[in-house]
Amino acid sequence: MRATFMYGAGDVRVETVPDPTIQQPTDAVVRVVRACVCGSDLHRYRSLPASGTGRPMGHELIGVVEETGSAVTAVHPGDFVVAPFSFQDNTCAFCREGFHTSCVDGGWYGSPETGGLQAELARIPLADGSLVVVPDTDPTTADPSLLASLLALSDVYLTGHHAAHMGRVGPGTTVTVIGDGAVGLSAVLASRRLGAERIILMGRHTERTDLGREWGATDVVAARGAEGVAQVMDLTRGEGSHVAIEAVGLMPAYEQAYGIVRPGGVVSRIGIPQYEDAPVGFGSLFGKNATLTGGPAPVRAYLEAGIADVLAGEIEPGRVFDIELPLTAAAEAYRLMDTREALKVALRP
């Protein structure tokens, strides 16, 4: 099969490697229908040290089950499935409490042991807890827009939903989303679905913020830093936002978040932090009685409901995919996203 590997910053290659096989009785092998490049993949694309050994890439897919281990009972060969970006047993204490990314038996794709999902075939550990069947859907005849929306459920949309959920977005709330990438836009859509009264999107790319407006953003602020904070405070009559969703992962975005959150509000971080020391003292969170929350999204917790919403036509989160390329063009997919020529790129085998 063909699979994507990264050998260092900017060095993405698609190589022919042996097909994955069942290694544990709880495994499944899935034939990929669609995969994609994630914004988090760009962190490695920009900074991964050069190595003679390629790192398997990709953690998002929809596909068809090819083979299952002897202990797998929830999915069967021929099932069309969505795979969340982490694998989990869906039975441990943390999974039962809705935090599947902390599963005691779970883990992450992209290691030599698990492989990556930007490939033609993928081994899915803990298949019963990690794969969710899409009912009554044939991927060979499904509309491409439906496939894109189902793919968005493997990470990006439900990551945005998690940010809004953890931020306690609800009717009557004012939400500010910092970042107009695919996760930020997904957080806008999720905040609207959760009943936010006002949604301010902080972003500078008009083609992206236009989609944000379609998805429920009532205001767009293009300014950053102190000027952006001042504009949000002006829009909120000096009160600030009930919820500030930080969807970038860089310190200036976090500083904007605590600058605009109102007293008693919530800063919900969903962008993977590219920093270790986040201010939480009197001048940032403590003085406002503000709450800091967020973390890796437990996509598995939300997946059945997300699939139902997509199949019912209530949401179309796949609109974040503005380009689709063959898997063999994975390097170009990374380049396009790195240069912001693409919002999010889907890959087809």
CATH of residue 277: 3.40.50.720
**Same domain for 150 and 165?**
no
**Same domain for 217 and 272?**
yes
Tally of domains in the chain: 2
**Same domain for 200 and 173?**
yes
The reported pLDDT for the residue numbered 276 is: 87
Sheet holding 11-16, edge to edge: 11-16, 2-8, 55-56
Q: What is the pLDDT of residues 233-270, one digit of tens each?
A: 999 999 999 999 999 999 999 999 999 999 999 999 99
* 109, 58 Cβ separation under 8 angstroms: yes
DSSP code of residue 110: -
Alpha helices in the chain (DSSP H): 41-47, 93-96, 127-130, 144-152, 156-166, 182-193, 206-214, 225-235, 251-260, 299-311, 330-338
Domain boundary at 294, 310, 332, which? 294
Q: Which domain holds residue 123?
A: 2-155+298-348
**Same domain for 305 and 282?**
no
DSSP code of residue 298: -
Please list the ranges in the chain whose pLDDT falls under 50.
none
Strand partners, 67: 29
**Same domain for 289 and 324?**
no
The reported pLDDT for the residue numbered 307 is: 98
Q: What is the pLDDT of residues 7-27, one digit of tens each?
A: 999 999 999 999 999 999 999
Largest CA distance in the chain: 61
The reported pLDDT for the residue numbered 164 is: 98
The reported pLDDT for the residue numbered 61 is: 98
Question: Distance between CA atoms of 212 and 215, rounded to whole angstroms?
Answer: 5
Listed residue (192, 238, 190, 253) closest to 218, CA to CA: 192
pTM: 0.96
**Same domain for 149 and 241?**
no
**Same domain for 132 and 195?**
no
Strand partners, 348: 326
